[in-house]
Amino acid sequence: MIARRRQVALALTALLAVGAACQADRHDQSGGPAPSAPRPSRGFTLVASGDVLPHTNIIDRARLDAGGRGYDFAPMLSGIRSVVSRADLALCHMETVYGADGDYSGYPRFTSPPEVARGLVATGYDGCSTASNHTLDDGAAGIHRTLDAFDRAGLRHAGSARTEAEARIPTILRAGPATVAHLAYTYGTNGIPLPAGRPWAVNLIDEGRILADARAARQEGADVVVVSLHWGTEWQEAPDRQQLTLARVLTASRTGGRPDVDLILGTHAHVPQAYEKVNGTWVIYGMGDQIAGRMVNHSGAKDPRGNESTVGRFTFAPPAGPGQRWEVTRAEFVPQWFDVDAGRVVNLNEALARGADVLRPVRDRIRATALSRGAAGEGLVMGR
């Protein structure tokens, strides 16, 4: 009797399951709209910083900070950690590739210690752009070592690739409730040809390619598309014609009334450049060098601007309605200076608050450049 009741119960369970499945099938085939996802209740903050360019003296400093055993880049970045680590998403720019087994070098062909990646993660960075004019300094092997080190450290990367399949996949990151695509491109590779059979090894700036990649990332589910561009004229604070033209084209492009690109982050010029809102989208033409040795400009003169930079900080709010963009509701820049003698990144506003008035002219010069294209009128403010 007990066995029979069990058989009846199993039969009824099976019938109920079939009925539920049929109802689900009828619902799926009805053509009715799927329930819309709830609107996120909060936004997110994104910070981005400029070129990490380890010259020989920077490498020596990292070895000293590690006590002569390996290399430690976290101490030289510790002065900006409070800004970086508090963001929902933090992006940097790794201008050089990594060497191996102590075979490291500075200018003109850089191979940096892979411990740089660990230092960036310790500072709070989530990912870096890796497309620059130095990406091919050590050929395909340099790219492999760099991205392998990033993977080991848990640092995401965009702009260079080890395989064709990797090159085709957009870098997607989480930023609080949002999904952010990070794309990266460079104007060139210092005349070094792309590795044979690897035209995809590093992304080169091409207007059509960038927009196609941005649309593809959006189709992959990106709420926000961020484009890093290694571009511009070295030692020139004003954006050049290529920067101005490309910024206008990329920010004007729309699909279904929605911008294809939500933020542009510029690197390469070695000096801070302006922030500007173009077609409703924020563009940083150049953030400057976050880490670099004592810089010499094209005239052969030591140029302190090569150790000045900004961190961009943007607060994004959820879209007001379906099909609309995540809007930047607050745009800030944080002025930085790299103290070559001490081997430390300095948050200039924090330093001034502690009484380092000798750095005020440096801070004021960076502020004047950041605001030089009228960004204050669009709401850009200096942060801390």
Predicted structure pTM score: 0.90
pLDDT above 70 coverage of the chain, percent: 90
Radius of gyration of the chain (CA): 24
Answer for the pair 119, 77: CB distance below 8 angstroms, yes or no: yes
H or E, element range at 225: strand 224-230
- Please give the structure tokens belonging to residue 69: 């055993």
Quick one: pLDDT at residue 37? 55
Quick one: pLDDT at residue 29? 33
- Please give the structure tokens belonging to residue 318: 């959820």
Quick one: pLDDT at residue 38? 65
Nearest to 228, CA basis, from 116, 96, 132, 111: 132
State the chain's mean pLDDT as an integer: 91
Q: Which residues of the chain have pLDDT under 50?
A: 1-35
Quick one: pLDDT at residue 41? 72
- Domains, in order of start, for the chain: 44-382 (3.60.21.10)
pLDDT in tens, 100-136: 999 999 999 999 999 999 999 999 999 999 999 999 9
Answer for the pair 127, 157: CB distance below 8 angstroms, yes or no: yes
